[in-house]
Structure 1
Amino acid sequence: MNNIDSFLKEIILGDEARARVPSEFIIQYTNNANPPTFFLTIDYLLKTNQANHLFTLPFIQRLEKWYQWYNRTQSGPIPFTFRWRGRNASSIYELNPKTLTSGLDDYPRASHPTDSERHLDLRCWITLASNVIGKLYSILNNEKTNKYLNYAQLLSNNDLLDQLHWSEQYEMYADYGLHTDYVQLERVLIQKQSPTQQYQQYQQTHVIRQVIQQSDVNYKYVKHFGYVSLFPLMTRILNPQSNKLEKILNDLQNSTLLWTPYGLRSLARSSSLYGMKNTEHDPPYWRGAIWINMNYMVLSALQHYAKISGPYSDKAQHIYKQLRTNLLKNMLHIYNKTGHIWEQYDDKTGNGKGSHPFTGWSSLIVLIMSELYDE
């Protein structure tokens, strides 16, 4: 694996670290990419003029080389679409094949992975990356400035975004792919041949995925409202005048979807996969729990739309205040109760879940307290 690849990937270093990670997560593939979250940091530094002297031509050119690799390896089936690599189309043990490369692991995607998928969150990450590289080149008055800014503007075009990712039927932004909601895990009896006694057969039960209605497996938008649906908001692609922005703001406040007294849950309570195990042994991960990093991005976007002129600025400000208060109150309560900051938080009780003590993305609560966002 070359340095361009490792610039983006989670690398597990050392025997001790490898011993704690399942083998399936250790192997790295040069065509698989992870979310380029470091562009959020670069964008913040650009907006605050804190480190422009550090952005030299060699640095930008190296970043550009990575960007070209990312576009080449993660491009989608048609122009202006993108697809996370690494999904296992032949998996029979997963209710919904994981998309580990997206960072959202078991968040529901198309039920039947194909090369024709279109992933909304990845498209929004590419838009952000294009815009940042364009701004970096503008510091140097480089001729490539317009190339990247124009591409970012094209990806930000709301009409094109709606063409590729807006479902009129479900009234939401969504992934697109070969999909059905009619799947479930069932325990079945499988005949197997003993490896030691060639002609002896034995029976063993396995929990495997069953497609209940094969006729419903078609190319369509994926009807699972959650964090992925919010990416056009979180990356500020939506026009402040857009009625799609109003729809998302209304949905944010809906308790049957993402709203809880403790923060925004990762998957709508009305989703068919809400709180569902992905395998016989894998508990839900991004299927309802509250994640502070994503709530931070939503808060940042709400503050952005509250500050700029538009018909929904007051609504954005109102939701911002409520959401921020809910997150702060709950995290303080759980910290006082347990003495820990947690990886994620339960959407029904507010209790901490997952790894602890956890000062990774959950420490973003400090920035939320100080109202310090990426603008």
Structure 2
Amino acid sequence: MILFLLIAVCFADDSLLWGQYRPNLLFGMRPNVPESLINGLSWFNSATINGITKVRHETENIPEIKKLAHSAYDVRLGGRQIIQDQGNALTLLTDLVKSEDGLAWELRITGKQHKDSIQSIIFYTGIEGHETKSDSSIQISKETKKNLSNKGISGDIEILGSDPTLGGKFRMVITEGEGEKPEHDHEHYDNKPPSNSFYAGLTVPTEMMWQMRKIYATMLQKEVQQFIEEYGDSSLDIPVYSIFSLNNQYKEGANVHLVQKTFQGDFSFNIKFHPADSLADKKKYAEFFDQPFKQRFTNLMLKQEDKFNNAYTLNKPFNEMMYHTFANELLSSVSGGIGFFHGDSVIDSDYGIAQSQPRSLFSGTPSRTFFPRGFYWDQGFTALSLKDYDPDLVLDMLVSWMDTMDDDGWIEREQILGDEGRSRVPEEFQVQSPEIANPPTLIMALSHLEFTPKQKKVLKKLYPKLRQHFDWFVTTQKGEIELYDREFHSDEVYRWRGKSAEHIFASGFDDYPRAPDISDGEIHVDLMSWVGASANSMAKIAEYLGKDEEAEMYMRIMNGVKTNLANNHWSDEYKSFCDIGVDDFEEDKHECHVGYVTLLPFALKLVEEDDAHLVDILEQIRDPEQLWSEYGVRSLSKSDEFFGTGENYWRGSIWVNVNYLILDALKHYSRPESIASFEVKTLSAEIYNELRRNLVDNVYKHWLKTNTVWESYDGLTGAQRGAKCFTGWTALTANIMFGEEITVTEPVEEVQEDEVTEKTEKTEESEQSEETEESTESEESTTDDDSEKADIESIEEEIEEEIEHEDL
């Protein structure tokens, strides 16, 4: 924890302080510090008594929520979220604008609904950890308290507070808003007229503050009971929005404050927050809020658009506006899915099941509706999604992940922190074991960043943790050599821990078919590949930091892995790199199920460029009876006996993250400077271009159809599968659109070496012969010249004699 605090201090950025860092809620805001001010939103249709059964708060996998996405969002600036709630006949927009320093913000809640529809909206705010913090407080202002009555509050509501995590005092205003209010002729209507806002102040233990929907439901029960006692049978004709409402009671020392508003038809209201520790603060942020919200929001959207366009270029055939909208929503939703989490976890330690010490994590999430927490290998792909858009943000998240590492170098593959985190996970999956690894994509992601001098300082401080984590990985996941009397080039052999008869959750490819027996003699080709790729990444980082000897050590590990893969894992029968198992006589045998596991040495670029097996791998990828489909590369061969069986999770469906790696490898082997054969380059380019189009077209088609992207896609039909809102790595579809189509130019005809030598010798002989001839000709020419000169002189003498004779 100390290391993270030191790094955080030197790399602190207030522009990241506030954000929608509660991704498990449909809308929730908080700062990225523990035990601080949290905010949330809830709503329900209050036109009928049945509306109370559809109170919205958490991002549950609700089919009636047809869209949950950020159309344009930047963690540092703000942006827009769209929620289409078909069950409540409501479209909700949450538009957030942050101040330039990141410390103040304004949120506009806009509702679009039928003119006769009635909606109740509840906003709440509260301070965590109030039980142990004497210097924090939160209460409604004196003016608001004066306006409070049993009938509610008219006008704006002001909340004042103080908390050390936010630098001192703060001020929040919930505006009265705009929109029609419903009317009713029941006498109870006058007791709680919806023209007012309803309010409640509560004292809630920190560990229960995340359960606001349950707390709200408990409060409503009391209100309904009182209504029935007072009106009896006449309760059949009731103004629902007046009964299902807060009690308008202020409680001294309350640490949570709720405000409820009811509207008929379209509506909007704003929530403003800013520090208020001094007069300078008040003046500074008054200027921020004085500018019309619409103008500030428009400026924000233009900034986000410029930042997106500066980071990315959409290339054909995806360089059209419709794909631009798609790509921006994908990457904005990745940013909108970033969360700040704090709490303990459940560990299977040497002393039995125990709670860890509380810790914090700043991380992306795979899916807000189904997996609203941090996953180790998903985070590496999230980092790849955003590395060109906001590399500082990516580095902050990776640093936070590394800070969760224990003293031995282990990082929990699934970060289930606190009671709130555990509430979304079945009990049998909550316990984490220090023996279980996960694909080390964090190291891979770090090696892809282009570091500025400031970032290099952070990386230098982070490097010892990276080294410790890598050491833990290769030590705990080591495979057996001596026990089975094996002949390997090096001892770089590895086996996933935690395998069961049906699963290896540690691998990430949960139900991918493996050897039917559980044996410590197995060697897993995908783990071998991850170690090799991680060693290569560590070598790059070490070299960048000037640690040449360590870089050489990591290169030796990578080369050892590559050699063992080539010598021991290749199967001529399956034309693939395969797992190694042991038979009844404890002899090695290949365990091969063609798919993502067997492709990983290729996908992580561990196959030498001049390896003859590359053609086999490429033809296998392109084979429609095995891995190729019109929608992407399948996770398991269509011809495999386990294709589409059992849970059918990683048994044939199409996953964008591995397709992204395959595309990256195809680009690598087709590049002009590669020593791969022309056949490999051409085939790689052809597959790359077609796969890129197929994958993007399918994800885009289902985004248009369903308003979201999905965990995976069917390997036969391309239909969506699994969890929706899966922007954790399906958002890499946008990055794939930023790539360019590949063209391979046919090389100039090569000449054999002996032919070159022969031609050279002939050329030299010819040149020597020409030189000799030239020399002879030159000598002959010289002789002729001398003879000619003598002849001329003789003639001249004769002429002179003749002249003299004539004179005589």
Taking structure 2 as the reference length, what is the TM-score of the superposition? Answer: 0.38
Work out which of the residue numbers 90, 95, 110 in structure 1 matches 2:515.
110
Work out which of the residue numbers 457, 461, 467 in structure 2 matches 1:64.
467
Say which SS state the counterpart of residue 41 (structure 1) adopts: helix
User: How much has 1:118 moved relative to structure 2?
Assistant: 0.4
Measured against aligned partners, the alpha-carbon deviations of 1:61-112 in whole angstroms (never above 9, x if no partner) come to 1111111111110000122210000013xxxxxxx52000001100011110
Work out which of the residue numbers 351, 364, 373 in structure 1 matches 2:719.
351
- Per the alignment, residue 633 of structure 2 pairs with 264
Alpha carbons 2:627, 2:637 under 8 Å: kept:
yes
User: How much has 1:177 moved relative to structure 2?
Assistant: 1.2
Say which SS state the counterpart of residue 623 (structure 2) adopts: coil
Structure 1 residues 54 and 371: CA distance shift in structure 2, 3 A: farther
How far apart, in 2, do the equivalents of 1:77 and 1:24 lie? Answer: 30
RMSD of aligned C-alpha atoms? 2.1
User: How much has 1:50 moved relative to structure 2?
Assistant: 5.2
What are the residue-to-residue correspondences of 1:300-339 with 2, within 5 Å? 300-307=664-671, 308-311=674-677, 312-339=680-707
How many residues align? The count is 321
- Per the alignment, residue 223 of structure 1 pairs with 592
- Per the alignment, residue 613 of structure 2 pairs with 244
Is 1:362 aligned with 2:730?
yes
Higher relative contact order (CA 8 A, sep 6+): 1
User: How much has 1:21 moved relative to structure 2?
Assistant: 2.1
Is 1:173 aligned with 2:577?
yes
Is 1:40 aligned with 2:441?
no
Paired AA for residue 443 in structure 2:
F
- Per the alignment, residue 368 of structure 2 pairs with none
Paired AA for residue 235 in structure 1:
L
Work out which of the residue numbers 270, 275, 290 in structure 1 matches 2:644.
275
Structure 1 residues 6 and 219: CA distance shift in structure 2, 3 A: closer
- Per the alignment, residue 20 of structure 1 pairs with 424
Alpha carbons 1:39, 1:128 under 8 Å: kept:
no
How far apart, in 2, do the equivalents of 1:135 and 1:296 lie? Answer: 21
Alpha carbons 1:55, 1:136 under 8 Å: kept:
no
Alpha carbons 1:97, 1:113 under 8 Å: kept:
no
User: How much has 1:57 moved relative to structure 2?
Assistant: 3.5
Structure 2 residue ranges without an equivalent (≥5): 1-346, 348-405, 482-490, 741-808
Alpha carbons 1:306, 1:313 under 8 Å: kept:
yes
Of 348-357 and 21-30, deviating more is: 21-30
Work out which of the residue numbers 649, 663, 674 in structure 2 matches 1:299.
663
Measured against aligned partners, the alpha-carbon deviations of 1:186-226 in whole angstroms (never above 9, x if no partner) come to xxxxxxxxxxxxxxxxxxxxxxxxxxxxx899852112100
- Per the alignment, residue 87 of structure 2 pairs with none
Paired AA for residue 561 in structure 2:
L
Structure 1 residue ranges without an equivalent (≥5): 89-95, 180-214, 278-282
Say which SS state the counterpart of residue 262 (structure 1) adopts: coil
How far apart, in 1, do the equivalents of 2:587 and 2:425 lie? Answer: 36
Paired AA for residue 724 in structure 2:
H
User: How much has 1:56 moved relative to structure 2?
Assistant: 4.0
Is 1:145 aligned with 2:551?
yes
Say which SS state the counterpart of residue 362 (structure 1) adopts: coil
Say which SS state the counterpart of residue 723 (structure 2) adopts: coil
Structure 1 residues 35 and 257: CA distance shift in structure 2, 3 A: same
Is 1:7 aligned with 2:7?
no
Paired AA for residue 616 in structure 2:
K
User: How much has 1:139 moved relative to structure 2?
Assistant: 2.2
Paired AA for residue 299 in structure 1:
L
Measured against aligned partners, the alpha-carbon deviations of 1:46-68 in whole angstroms (never above 9, x if no partner) come to xx455761454431111111111
Give the structure with higher Rg (CA): 2
Structure 1 residues 260 and 60: CA distance shift in structure 2, 3 A: same
Structure 1 residues 330 and 27: CA distance shift in structure 2, 3 A: same
Taking structure 1 as the reference length, what is the TM-score of the superposition? Answer: 0.81
What are the residue-to-residue correspondences of 1:144-163 with 2, within 5 Å? 144-157=550-563, 160-163=564-567
How far apart, in 2, do the equivalents of 1:272 and 1:23 lie? Answer: 32
Structure 1 residues 231 and 55: CA distance shift in structure 2, 3 A: farther
Paired AA for residue 22 in structure 1:
P
User: How much has 1:14 moved relative to structure 2?
Assistant: 3.0
- Per the alignment, residue 290 of structure 2 pairs with none
User: How much has 1:251 moved relative to structure 2?
Assistant: 0.3
